[in-house]
Amino acid sequence: MVSPTSRSIKLLKDDGWLPAVVERWNPHARIRQDLFGFADILAIQPGKEPLLVQVTSTGWASRIKKIVALPLAATALSAGFRIEVHGWRKLKSNKNRMTPIIVPILLADMEAQCHFAQSEQ
């Protein structure tokens, strides 16, 4: 079985990116740890901003919500990185084929979240 991360690596390579897996296994805590708390892949391409990718096959909305709430994600965007969530799902028409839903995370998303949180107080 091909992992969602492998699928995103192939997708990025096919689009001219040089991707690297930046998620790592922490044997002491027995958990996977993402770069900056959200990135599974870091990809670079000449002439483009570096790209941080969170990859998932379930729970896309919760991943997006988590990233938008992370100060490190806002810092990465302010520093010139792009952030995307790659959500992989099976097509209804062809159950054997996976397709990505790619959701960009923008600094405006984080500013909107910040204003929403302040208005709730």
With a CB cutoff of 8 Å and minimum separation 6, the contacts of 82 are 48, 49, 50, 51, 52, 104
Mean pLDDT across 31-54: 95
Report how far residue 84's alpha carbon sits from residue 87's, in angstroms, rounded to the nearest whole number: 10
Which of 42, 4, 7, 49 minimizes the C-alpha distance to 21?
Answer: 42
Confidence of residue 55 (pLDDT cuts 50, 70, 90): very high
Which of 48, 61, 71, 57 minimizes the C-alpha distance to 103?
Answer: 61
What does 13-54 look like in DSSP terms, one character per residue? HHTT-EEEE--EEETTTTEEE-BTTTBSEEEE-TTS--EEEE
Task: Please say if the pLDDT value at position 78 is more than 70.
Answer: yes
Confidence of residue 116 (pLDDT cuts 50, 70, 90): very low
Mean pLDDT across 78-100: 86
Q: Which two tokens stand for residue 70?
A: 């992370």
Confidence of residue 111 (pLDDT cuts 50, 70, 90): confident
- pLDDT for 1 equals 64
Report how far residue 115's alpha carbon sits from residue 7's, in angstroms, rounded to the nearest whole number: 35
Name all domains of the chain by residue range, CATH numbers in brackets: 4-120 (3.40.1350)
- pLDDT for 121 equals 45
Task: Please say if the pLDDT value at position 23 is more than 80.
Answer: yes
Mean pLDDT across 59-79: 92
Mean pLDDT across 26-39: 88
Task: Please say if the pLDDT value at position 8 is more than 50.
Answer: yes
